[in-house]
Each structure stands twice: as structure tokens, then as C-alpha cells.
Structure 1
Amino acid sequence: MPQISSEQKAFFEQEGYLIVKGLFSQQEIDEIKEEYRKLWLEMVAEGEIAQDKARPVESLYPRLSNHHRVNDVAARYMLDERTRGVVEQLIGEEALVIQTVYYFKAPGGRGLPLHQDNYDIGVTPGTTYTAWVSLEHSTKENGGLFLVPGSHRFELAVPVPIEGDEYHFPHTISIPDGYKTISLETEPGDVVYFTGNTYHGSHKNQTRHSFRQSFVTHYAASSVERITLNHNMLVNSKGERVRRRLNPTPKAVATQGDITTWRKIYFPEKGKIH
């Protein structure tokens, strides 16, 4: 298990994110990508993924969520002690897995506007924590991450509408005065950690032939007391299902009206739960 230095922990606490370089080998990266390629082929063959003529490439490569529940390789990397271990060193307690998400980020794929992960997940008390495993050389050009350093100190913000077709959903959060976004550049095997209150998003993939794949695991501290129903499938370090009480009023529900409304805004892909 990698050991986080006092300087790295202090940086995370100050800025709300941390990049740990080279946590996974190229062989491991290739294994993850190959396993999700197989899952993708199965879903296409079974008709679970269908092409939309309006977005012929992007529609063929949707994000794949929570396949750790049915796939041993995904489950193994979800429980990997390196990613989880770093989170636990940063927060000082056991980390419970909330969900996994795999992004292909195909050429031309839209980005994600600034958002906070805990807005809809509804972890309380505290927030969520993310381990974003870079599977490609990730840059601004091919759809890499951007975030607002120091924004983890803010409460959950209410999104505002935006125009244009650059992002997957038409809402974002405003950057407070004195703060600005930075774009992150990562190599295969690097892992980006950030909190569920950190303002972050991803750029549009502007390339014609390059994917920007990533494997993401969201965590909650074991001291979490409540979480929304859609995300109450917590898993401990042994792979055992654990439960917490339901948070019936996450910020998303409180500000967007009801669960149906906010799910359409934040997860518009045919009502899938991610």
C-alpha cells in the first residue's frame, strides 16, 4: 500500500484534491481496459447499447456504472488496497465503496460541467471521496479533468442553467470570486483524488481518434450515517454489503423538486442509475 506523505495530506486538505503518480502499472491498466472492452462488446451484442444517429460515436460509448456487481475484475480493482488505502490515509478512517463508473470518453464526447459529487449522493455527515484512475494520457484536448482548487471548503451549491452543447447536462455551478479552474494532465496509472464538495468537471474530447478512458470509484467514510436510496449499496474492504440509513432530502432533491426531476437532470441516459 502506498504511504501518503505529510506534505501530500496537507496539500489535499488545503486544495481539495491530490494526484498520486504511477499507482498502477501499464499491465494493470491494460487489464482494466480489456475487461471493459469485453463488457462493452457484450452490451452491444445484447442490445443494451444502441447507436443514436444524432451522436453516432458518443452514443456507442456510454459510461458504464457499477459493473463491479457482476464482474470480478471490476470488483477487484474497486477493492484494490492502493486506491482505497490512499483515501483512508487522507480521511483517517475506513472507506466504504459507493459506486464505480467507467468512462470511455470517445472522440467528440461531451464533457461534464462543474459539479459536486455529493450533491446527489447525499452522504451525511461529511462528503464523498473519489479515486479517478487515469487509463490514458489525459489532457484538456482529449477530455481531461478540470477542477477548482480550494472549492472543497464550500457547501453544496445549487446549479444554474447554461446554454450550448458542450456538456452532458445543461447545468453548472458558479465559481466564487477569487477562485479559478485548472486543467489536470495525467498519465496511465496516475490517480486523482478529490472530495465530493470539490468543484470539478471534464472537458469535451476534441480529438478525432483518441479515447480518454478512466475508472472511477466513489467512497464514503465509514462514519457516514445517511445516503440516498439510489446509492445505498455500500461495500466494505472485504467486499461485503453494508447499509446506512436513508437520506430522503439530499441537496439535489431539496433544490430540484423530487428524485425524478434531479435524476433526469444529472443522469439523463434512459433513466439509468449511475
Structure 2
Amino acid sequence: MTIQQKTERLAPLSEAQVKQYHEQGYFVMKNGCSHDLIDTYNAHIHSIRSAEVLEEWAKPRKGKEAVNDKDRFSVRLFNPHLHDGFSLQMMKLPVVRGVLAQVLGDEACGVQSMYFYKEPGSPGQAAHQDYYYIRNEPNTLTAAWVAMEFTNEENGCLWVIPGTHRLGLLPHGAVKNLKEHEAWTNEVEGIDLSQEIPAVLEKGDILFFDSLLIHSSTRNRSERWRRSYVCHYIRHDSTIEREDLKRKISLV
């Protein structure tokens, strides 16, 4: 029996696409993840949250013995890659590793993962910059947002303001529209939010974006879900300030 060798790192982006990413602060990789893989992963996460007895890491509300049935499929699953092998491999998708190396100039490491449900009627998150929540030096923080199903304006897609990653970190304050957005987050200040454009994604598309890009999401006004798997990465030589995100996951 021969040991399987790791494949060479992919380079899926053209020079023009890398340039576009740096100019706009984001890029959509069409069909970055196969439908079969997404369907299998969605079913896997559903089985984890459907279990009669949930492991502590998988509970919607940490530290609570009783699990509310509604919370099972509404509260995000935080950092599943630290506990679940399938989630870890989803963080390490070869196409993601390749794109990150191209836009960051070197190998990246995973630092955070989140599986979002966003059921019908649920609110979105106000406009913000990820760097506000996840400080790292030098700042190389990048998100890969995998659409686990079709997402558009109706079911609460992401909205972005192209080029705002060049503005640096802006002040964040209290959320203004509580009918549209979660109250526990913060909202960027001093920016014209009418410039936002929707990031409509087909199932399997991956949205890569810079940590300083201003982005938000809106309330899910449809009868459809808007599931997504979102991972954050830094270049291997960057350092995270937050104690809970210091562990770096190699993508090799």
C-alpha cells in the first residue's frame, strides 16, 4: 500500500482576479464547493444538532442542560472545526487554501469557523468590519463565506461596499436599526451605507473578503433558510490578539 501524497497547492485565480480582489476587497469564487459535498455537510451538521444528547461544544447555549428545540437550528455552531473532523476538512478546502495563498502572498492558517442557520424571519448583522472583532498583526485576516444554499436579498444575503477595505478601521457604535439587525453587535460609523450592494450567491459559491471590507446582512424575509459556513484565516506569520482564537490550523 502506498501513502497518498498531498497534491500541490492550487492557484485558481488569474492575475486579473487577484488584482480585482485587492482593488475591491472581495471576490466570488463560482462553484468553489460541489453540491454533493455541501449536501453531505449540511446533513452532517443537522445530525449533530439533532442528537438526543448534545456534546457540550455543539450546544446552542453553552452551560445549559436543557436544549430548546428552536435553538437547535437557529443558533450558530461556533468553531466546529476544533471538535469535528468534517468541519475541519471543510475549513481546509484545497481551493480555499489556493485562493488565500494568492491574495495573501503566502500560506494561510485557519483561526475561526461558524456554521450559520439564519432561519426565516431571523435578523441580520449591521454593517461592520471583521477586524474590529478580530485584531491581528500584521493584519491579514480574510473570510471565506461558503453559500450552503442559494442566497439573495430575500433570504438575507451579505451586502458589501466595494473598496472600503482601503479606509482602514473605522469607529463602531450601537446598532441603529434593531428591526433589521441583531442588537448585540456593533455598527460601523461615518459611512454612506446606501453604497452597499448585494452579494447574491449560488449554492457552492465562496465569497472571499478582506477584514476591513464593510459588509452587513439583512433580515431573512423569505420562507427559505440561508445556511452558510464561514471561516476566518490569517497568514501564517500573523498573530491573533484574542485568546480564544490563537490556535492556528494549517491548511496543508
Of 113, 120, 124, the match for 1:100: 113
Q: Alignment partner of 2:38: what SS?
A: helix
For 1:197 and 1:156, how far apart are their aligned partners in 2? 6
For 1:46 and 1:230, how far apart are their aligned partners in 2? 19
Of 153, 158, 183, the match for 2:198: 183
**Per-residue Cα deviation, 1:128-179 (whole angstroms, up to 9, x for no partner):** 1011001111001101110110011122122122142321235311353598
Structure 1 pair 153/41, CA: closer, same or farther in 2 (3 Å)? same
Structure with more contact order per residue of length (Cα contacts < 8 Å, sep ≥ 6): 2
Match of residue 17 from structure 2: 8
Match of residue 169 from structure 2: 156
Tell me the amino acid that sits aligned with residue 40 of structure 1: R
Match of residue 235 from structure 1: 249
Task: Identify unmatched segments of 5+ residues in structure 2.
Answer: 1-9, 61-66
1:199 pairs with 2:214: yes
For 1:10 and 1:40, how far apart are their aligned partners in 2? 41
Runs ≥4 residues deviating over 4 A: 43-47, 56-60
Structure 1 pair 41/125, CA: closer, same or farther in 2 (3 Å)? same
1:29 pairs with 2:38: yes
Within a 5 Å distance, the mapping from 1:1-274 to structure 2 comes to 1=10, 3-42=12-51, 48-49=59-60, 50-51=67-68, 60-161=73-174, 162-169=176-183, 171-174=186-189, 176=191, 180-207=195-222, 209-238=223-252
Q: How many residues align?
A: 233
For 1:80 and 1:43, how far apart are their aligned partners in 2? 30
Structure 1 pair 107/43, CA: closer, same or farther in 2 (3 Å)? farther
Tell me the amino acid that sits aligned with residue 121 of structure 1: I
For 1:16 and 1:119, how far apart are their aligned partners in 2? 16
2:110–2:250 contact (8 Å) kept in structure 1:
yes
Deviation at 1:103, TM superposition (A): 0.6
For 2:91 and 2:136, how far apart are their aligned partners in 1? 19
Structure 1 pair 216/142, CA: closer, same or farther in 2 (3 Å)? same
Tell me the amino acid that sits aligned with residue 211 of structure 2: G
* Bigger shift: residues 56-65 or 122-131: 56-65
Normalising by structure 2, we get a TM-score of 0.85
For 1:76 and 1:34, how far apart are their aligned partners in 2? 15
Q: Alignment partner of 1:102: what SS?
A: strand
Structure 1 pair 177/34, CA: closer, same or farther in 2 (3 Å)? closer
Q: Alignment partner of 1:121: what SS?
A: coil
Task: Identify unmatched segments of 5+ residues in structure 1.
Answer: 239-274
For 1:144 and 1:44, how far apart are their aligned partners in 2? 32
For the aligned residue pairs, the C-alpha RMSD in angstroms reads: 2.2
Q: Alignment partner of 2:39: what SS?
A: helix
Tell me the amino acid that sits aligned with residue 191 of structure 1: I
2:173–2:186 contact (8 Å) kept in structure 1:
yes
Identity among equivalent pairs (%): 27
Structure 1 pair 94/203, CA: closer, same or farther in 2 (3 Å)? same
